[in-house]
Each structure stands twice: as C-alpha cells, then as structure tokens.
Amino acid sequence: MISINFRDPRPIYEQIKDGMRRLIVSGALPTGSKISSVREMATGLAINPSTIQRAYRELEAEGYICSVPGKGSFVCSNDEAEALRRAELLGKFDELVTELGYIGVTKQMLAQRLKGELKND
C-alpha cells in the first residue's frame, strides 16, 4: 500500500500524501471508499499520528478525500483535483523539457523516449 522511505529527502507527510494520491488516481482506492483512520494509518506505518493528519488535511484541501464527522474520511470524486494535478505536472514537464533542450536533448529523442515508455504500459 504505502511505504515510507526514510532516506527520501521529502518529509514523511508528503510521501504519505503522494502514496495516497497515487492509490486514488490509479483506482486502487475508488471513489466513495473509506480510508484508514489517522490512528490506524499511524499504527500501521509506525509514525506519529500528527504526520498522518497533516497528509490527510492536505489531501482534503486538494479535493482527493472528504471527511465526514463521526464516520471517517472517504475518497471523493476527484475530477477537479485530477485536472489541477494534471496542470501542475504538465507545468513541471514543460520546465523539464526546456531544461533537457538546453543540454542537447532533441525532440526526436524525447519522442522516442515517450514511445518507448508507452509501449511498456
């Protein structure tokens, strides 16, 4: 499910947030499904509950999960969240492509790379 890499320079809450986001976007956690409570997740990963709470709070702000008082947190319909994330990632992609162009990577090399990756799917 979610794994924590203590050698990763990113904070633990970001690793949890990214792991949950991947599970939601991939459909492993479908819309409407209940997610683990903060306490359950903290116990399972052996980390501080406030770290999980921060990750959940950010996921809720991004529209990936919804909290229902007294019932828990659930995966929300994430069309808007996906659109925002897609725009964010495409912006990063554009920056990366520009930088690759500066160091001599051609459009043909990028196209070959993309075609090769798509064949692996």
Q: What is the pLDDT of residues 33-72, one digit of tens each?
A: 999 999 999 999 999 999 999 999 999 988 889 988 889 9
- pTM exceeds 0.85, yes or no: no
Helix, strand, coil shares, percent, the chain, to 5? 60, 5, 30
Domain boundaries, the chain: 12-77, 80-119
CATH classification number, 12-77, choose in 1.10.580.10, 1.10.10.10, 3.40.50.620, 2.60.40.10: 1.10.10.10
Rounded distance between C-alpha atoms, residue 57 and residue 67, angstroms: 9
Q: What DSSP character marks residue 76?
A: P
Q: Residue 49's CB: how many other CB atoms inside 10 A?
A: 14
In order of 65, 76, 112, the CA distances from 34 in angstroms are 9, 10, 41
* CA–CA–CA angle 21, 111, 89 (5° rounding): 25
What was the pLDDT predicted at 78? 67
- Residue 114 — pLDDT band, cuts 50, 70, 90? confident
DSSP 13-40: HHHHHHHHHHHHHHTSS-TTPBPPPHHH
Q: What is the pLDDT of residues 10-33, one digit of tens each?
A: 999 999 999 999 898 888 998 889
Q: What is the pLDDT of residues 66-94, one digit of tens each?
A: 988 889 999 987 677 677 778 888 999 99
